[in-house]
Structures are given as C-alpha cells and as structure tokens.
Amino acid sequence: MTEAARGGEILRAAAGGTPPEWALVSGSGLAGLTGAFETRRVLDYADVPGLPGATVFGHPGRLHLATAGGVPIWLCQGRPHFYEHGDMQPIASFVRVLLDAGVSRLLLTNAAGALNPAFRAGDVMVLRDHLFLPGLAGHHPLLGPNDARGERFPAMAGAYDVTLRAALARELGRAGLRVREGVYAMVGGPSYETSAETLLLRRAGADAVGMSTAPEVVVARHAGARVGAVATITNVAGIDETLDGGHAAVVDTASAVAPRLGSALAAVIGRFDPA
C-alpha cells in the first residue's frame, strides 16, 4: 500500500460515515479562511502518511474536517512546494492522499504577484489557465510509472472547471472582492522574479505569477477530479527589492483578504450545482 493510500484510509476513518467530496487548500497567508467554515476535527499533517510537513511561514500544516452549508470538506492549511523539496513527488502525494480519501472536487488558493498592469494588491483572480514552467522544463508530478488513477498522457486543456469558475467569480464578487480572471504562471522559486523575468512572463500571456498550484491541478485532473483555483494578488511582481516587504508582506496582504475569501469559498461549496 502506498503512503497516499494509507493517508487516505486515515482520513476516511476520521471523517466517519460520509467522507468529503470537497477539499480546499489555503495558500500563503490564507489559513484564516477556515474561519468561514464549521470545523469538526483538526489533524496535523505529520500524523497523516503522505502529507508532507509544512515548513513555510503562513502554512500551518493542519487539516480541518469541516462543513460549509452542511457539506463536508477537508480544509488544508498549507501545502508542500517544489522549492522546499526539490521534487514534485511530495506534491503528488499530497493531492493523492485527498483523492484516496474520496475527494473529487478540489479548490486551490494561492498568493500571487501581479503581472497584468491592471491588477492591484487585494484583487482576486479566478484561474482560467496556467503556464506550468517547471513542468515544461521536466520537473513534472506525473513522471515515472503511470498512476492507475488516470491515462498516461492526460489532456490539460480546460483543466479549470467552467462551472466552478463561474461559481467562484459570482461568490467572490458577492463577498465584496474585486474579481479578475486570468492565466497563472508557476515558477520554481524560492527567489522572486527579476524585472526581465516579469516582462517575459507577461509577454507569454500570464496575468499573475506564483510558486504553487499548477502541479496540484495536474495531479487532480489526471485522476478526473474537478478543479477550481483562486489567486490572491498580494504584490506587483518584479518591483525593486528595496521597496518590497518580501514574504512577510505577501502574508500580511493575503491575511487581510482571507476572511472574505473564505466566506465566498464556503458559499461556493454550500451552493454548488454541478449541472
């Protein structure tokens, strides 16, 4: 039995009769969005096989069994990153634990830098598509023997579910947030982008940039799960380092958005109609 399968069994047992079909992953500074949900139980990642421990400030590494409008959900406070491990497999394992626990609908959040000049800190962007730059360079979560959950060569066109995108945009707007839609570029990190790199990504068609999300989407879609994602715009990418507050400023900006973001995501889950 794989580590992911063992972790999935533990989560199924912890959930009791009806395991959640939903999971939500909070990005940097967004752990506070859990306040919009009714928490029934909390587990540490360290106690669940296949869930890598969180090492980054703003990622507490806790898993909440919660509900939104009576709908059960796993709330993941934090995620593993490629730059922490130098390997995509911990990220693949993280997602597969949730899949083995019965999750078929995955919502992802992150903190991102703006590439689109119209975007401002505090905006939220519903992901329409992504540029998975580490994956294109050979650092891919599906490398190695094919996982039996999906096809060897999974299609990624339309990876972000249209119905979920519409629901996210609607509820984020109702929560009083300024909503954008666009393309997210994932870079490996952990350094932020230079001005030249920012210009390159903008010219490639990206609206925001960050260091996560794309590999989780690939693993979930490979297994047939429905996926939606929201980036919280926390800064303008590629600005002068001397004027940039760094990761602490990113976390502070995301934390301010987290309560309204959480309310919107809880509404999406509680009201979602897949038809």
Residues whose CB is less than 8 angstroms from the CB of residue 151 and which lie 6 or more positions away in sequence, other chains included: 222
Q: Token pair of 232, please?
A: 């919280």
CB contact burial 22-43 (16+ within 10 A = b; e otherwise): bbbbbbbbbbbbbebbeeeeeb
Which residues is 226 bridged to in the sheet?
105
Residues designated catalytic: 28, 59, 81, 83-84, 111, 211-212, 235, 247
What is the sign of the dihedral through the CA atoms of 102, 41, 250 and 86? Answer: negative
Closest listed residue to residue 75, CA positions, set 50, 41, 48, 112? 41
CA distance 169 to 176: 11
Taking CA atoms, 67 is separated from 40, 41, 108, 121, 265, in Å, by 8, 10, 17, 29, 12
Residue by residue, DSSP assigns 205-221 as T-SEEESSSHHHHHHHH
Q: Token pair of 127, please?
A: 């992901």
Q: Please give the single-letter amino acid code of residue 166.
A: A
